[in-house]
Amino acid sequence: MTAQPDRPAVTGLVPPVTVGEAVRSDPVVRYSAAILCGIVVIASLDLAQVFFAPVFLSVVVGTIFGLPMERLSRLGVPSWLSAGGMVLVFIALILTAGAAFVVPLSDWLDRLPLIWSRLQAQLVSWQGFFSSVASLQEDLRSAMGQKGGMQVSVDDNSAVESVFYFAPAFMAQVVLFLASLYFFLLTRPHLRRAALQLSPDSEGRRCIVTAFRTIEARLSTYLISISVINAGLGVAVALTMWLLDVPSPLLWGMLAGVLNYVVYLGPAIMVLVMSGIGLATGYTPVEILTPPLAYLVLNLIEAQFVTPTVLGRTMTLNPFAVFLAIAFWIWLWGPIGGFIAVPLLLVVVSVLEIINNTAQSEEPGRSEPEPEAGASH
């Protein structure tokens, strides 16, 4: 048997590369894949808004009831009973708030024709100012060689859409929200245990437990604190409007508290509402401007002093990030998105902080810096 001669080694051949390795190795492919996944996720959230919006809202609201659920569980109350009780408590709170809105709101709806005539009279009295502005704009456009100017008109024909057209879809979302809230409260321990099964080692499970506790603690603290602050703001606004002799002060106080959940946009809407109230009830410039200015002062005190003091530095978020989050979620899901924007941003920030802390703790050779010689304490 003759020995086979050794074959020369083949050089220059590139080993096959899998798709996963290509994505991990090439930054362009990695970033392109991340952008594509983001577009797909956003499109899915937009197309399935009717389903996802109530579910996300139920998770955010359900976090508030996490602590009462745990206490009831320690007392031996069955999970299905405590979850149903929390849902009933939430429904009772919403119905109570709605009933408090109905009486003063119906009073204002009865006086709506009179208020509208008053607003028209106020706008007519300002017609000279609008005409002056329009004339100035026309002169500027003529000097720049452009045509057309500002047109100001008051249309008294308002189209009222039928409520019954939106009632079925709205009721379906309400039912989905309540069902999601119940099952989220019922299965919170099971969800946590299922998340623990994702990690095979004890260190990973410890990180998951830390993440759950941190996120739930921060989110519940934020929501409860903001609810107390908004309730206090509503009381302050109601008392102020009562002192200013503005009709239905309780209605404006409750509206201020509810709108304050949507940071930036809610107070802006409330300023417009109070400006309309000033136009409808005031006769002099001072009487017209007093309601919106009074609300602005109260909101400034709440935003710049009360909220930072209550929440502290650990709950402070970047204002630009908050603005972008609110703009994105309102664009995506409307009012529900505006309500859950800040809580979701808080969850994302908490997850990033946990990942960063875990990565720093796992760095090899990481040790605390030694104090310099002669340093005073």
Give domain status of residue 158, yes or no: no
- Give the model's pLDDT for residue 192: 79
Place of tokens 């946590």: 192
Give domain status of residue 137, yes or no: no
Residue 134 has pLDDT above 70, yes or no: no
pLDDT digits (tens, 9 = 90+) for 23-42: 566 667 677 777 888 888 88
Q: At CA 102, angle to CA 98 and CA 106, rounded to 5? A: 160
Give domain status of residue 75, yes or no: yes
Give domain status of residue 221, yes or no: yes
- Give the model's pLDDT for residue 256: 93
Token pair recorded at residue 57: 């809202």
Residue 163 has pLDDT above 60, yes or no: no
Give, in order, the Cα–Cα distances in Å from 337 to each of 72, 315, 340, 370: 31, 20, 5, 48
Burial (Cβ within 10 Å: 0-12, 13-18, ≥19) of residue 368: exposed
Average pLDDT over residues 87-108: 83
Give domain status of residue 215, yes or no: yes
Cα–Cα distance, 371 to 151 (Å, whole number): 71
The DSSP secondary-structure symbol of 377 reads -
Give domain status of residue 371, yes or no: no
pTM for this entry: 0.70
Q: For residue 309, what are the domain limits?
A: 49-124+178-361
Sequential DSSP letters for 170-183: HHHHHHHHHHHHHH
- Give the model's pLDDT for residue 102: 78
- Count of domains for the chain: 1
- The mean pLDDT of the chain is 77
- Give the model's pLDDT for residue 229: 92
pLDDT digits (tens, 9 = 90+) for 198-230: 777 777 777 778 888 888 888 888 888 899 999
Residue 292 has pLDDT above 90, yes or no: yes
Give domain status of residue 315, yes or no: yes
Mean pLDDT is lowest, of 1-15, 29-43, 71-85, 348-362, for 1-15
Residue 47 has pLDDT above 60, yes or no: yes
Give domain status of residue 372, yes or no: no
Average pLDDT over residues 301-319: 79
Task: Judge contact between 244 and 236, C-beta under 8 A.
Answer: no
